[in-house]
Structure 1
Amino acid sequence: MYREIYETLKKNFKLRNMDVEYFETLDEAKLRILSIVPVEASIGIGHSETLQNMKITDALLERGNVVYDKELAQNSEECKALKKKALLTDWYITGSNAISVDGRIVNVDHSGNRVAAITFGPDRVIIVVGKNKIVDTVEEAVKRVKNVACPQNAKRAGYNPPCVKLNRCVNCVSKERVCNSLSIIEGQMDCNRIKVFIVNEEYGF
């Protein structure tokens, strides 16, 4: 089934100047990243459960890339500095909260560093998503982000906005809210900039 969806995704994203590639496993996607990202390139990493499962930061560091990943920080100040440095890298690798078959990429961020980098800054962006992140329309993507991804990400990060208990968005103004920046990528000016890697496995929120 996902092979058929992939062909539609590929066509619709291409119309919006974005490329889609399909992989059966996360390891296949990892090998593809390592094959196209130059060893001399600087890399920014957007926090993602999918990428943590892939262990892509370790692989890039081991072969000699300069990598800015906030998960490597020892404290909050270092974390903030790494997120800023990631905005000006050659390549940015991240996950996504949802993509729609009609060709949109939808994310929500706490601090906004990930959606900022996807939008502008790094020369090239790779977005890795499991098949569980695929929905039909952009409306469904936003719904998924707010009602599935946000509660789980808030809980993972140790925050307790109302959605954690309710398992649904109530458009709160809690100080512990994690959904501060909603991003919908509708297309790209540079047709070579964004690549979406779809993995035929379920990963992340």
Structure 2
Amino acid sequence: MEKDTVEHLIKSLSERNIQGYYFESFNEAKLEIMKMISKHESVGIGNSVTLKRMELSNDLISRGNNVYDKTLAKNKEEIKEIKRKALLTDWYITGTNAISLEGHIVNMDHSGNRVAAMLYGPNNVVVVIGSNKITKTLDEAVYRVRNIASPKNAKRAGMNPPCVDLQKCIDCKSPDRVCNNLVVIEGQNESRRMKVFIVNEEEGF
């Protein structure tokens, strides 16, 4: 990732009241997250391929944190309860589907719990992104979310809307549709609430 790109993105985020940080690897980003969060604080985890491969939930649980990660639930009722509890945690850690160089953070959610926590509830939010998630413009970010991230996430969830085979969005009305909540975060009213960890590695959808 070019230095100018990183500096431009961090500046854009700062202008939107969002703190940006740069890391060479996801392991470095994880170490910083573990340092920032005390073992006495509760942590919500957004369902993310990136965070799963970082093994963040396991490390936090092993240390003694109360972690609310729906992917560790045993049944649907427990999933629902974990989603609700994650909305009131001290920290919420999540990936994102795309981010523009102008600082727009763009996500598509199925049930909406992940974007809900990003928007309001947890006291602190950390968004972890790989270099493959960065786009030049908001339009390109939305395109990426609809046509790259969403088909892959639908397949990962065991759903089969038309985009899985077509590899593009047709704004379907399929019962397997996972694209129910398209959210663009354009800024924050609390200056220290949201942090974006930009990582010089490709990971996730």
Instruction: Settle same-fold status: TM greater than 0.5.
Output: yes
Aligned residues: 205
Cα drift, residue 38 of structure 1: 1.5
Q: Deviations over 1:107-131 (max 9, x none)?
A: 0000100000000000000000100
> Match for 1:117: what amino acid?
A
Q: Which amino acid aligns with 1:116?
A: A
Supply the AA of the counterpart residue of 1:15: E
**Structure 2 match to 1:202:** 202
Which residue is equivalent to 1:175?
175
Q: Does residue 1:34 correspond to 2:34, yes or no?
A: yes
Structure 1 distance, partners of 2:115, 2:107, is 7
Task: Give the match for residue 46 of structure 1.
Answer: 46
CA distance in 2, matches of 1:86, 1:163: 30
Q: CA deviation at 1:2?
A: 3.0
Q: CA deviation at 1:191?
A: 0.6
Q: CA deviation at 1:72?
A: 1.0
Partner in structure 2 of residue 186 of structure 1: 186
Report 1:12-27 matches (<5 A): 12-27=12-27
Could you say which residue in structure 2 is the equivalent of 1:61? 61
**Is the Cα contact below 8 Å between 1:104 and 1:138 reproduced in 2?**
yes
Give me the whole-angstrom Cα distance separating, in 2, the residues matched to 1:2 and 1:101. Answer: 12
Counterpart of 2:182 in 1: which secondary structure? strand
**1:4 CA displacement:** 1.8
Structure 2 unmatched ranges of 5 or more: none
Note the 1:82-101 alignment, pairs <5 A: 82-101=82-101
CA contact (8 A) 1:2 1:200 kept: no
- Residue 132 of structure 2 aligns to a residue whose secondary structure is helix
Counterparts of 1:17 and 1:9 in 2: how far apart (Å)? 13
In 1: Cα distance, 2:2 partner to 2:13 partner: 16
Which whole-Å CA distance do the structure 2 matches of 1:202 and 1:162 have between them? Answer: 26
Query: Which secondary structure state, in structure 2, belongs to the residue aligned with residue 6 of structure 1?
Result: helix
Where does structure 1 lack aligned partners over 5 or more consecutive residues? none
User: TM-score, length-normalised on structure 1?
Assistant: 0.99
TM-score relative to the length of structure 2: 0.99
Q: Map residues 72-151 of structure 1 onto 2, 5 A cutoff.
A: 72-151=72-151
Cα shift readout 1:86-144 (whole Å, capped 9, x = no counterpart):
00001000000000100110000001000000000000000001000000111110000
Kindly provide the CA deviation profile for residues 36-73 of structure 1, in whole angstroms up to 9, marking residues without a partner as x.
Answer: 11211100000000000100001111111100000110
Q: Which amino acid aligns with 2:42?
A: S
Q: Which runs of 4+ in 1 moved over 4 A?
A: none
Partners of 1:194 and 1:159 lie apart in 2 by 31
Aligned partners of 2:3 and 2:53: how far apart in 1? 23
Q: Secondary structure at the match of 1:175?
A: coil
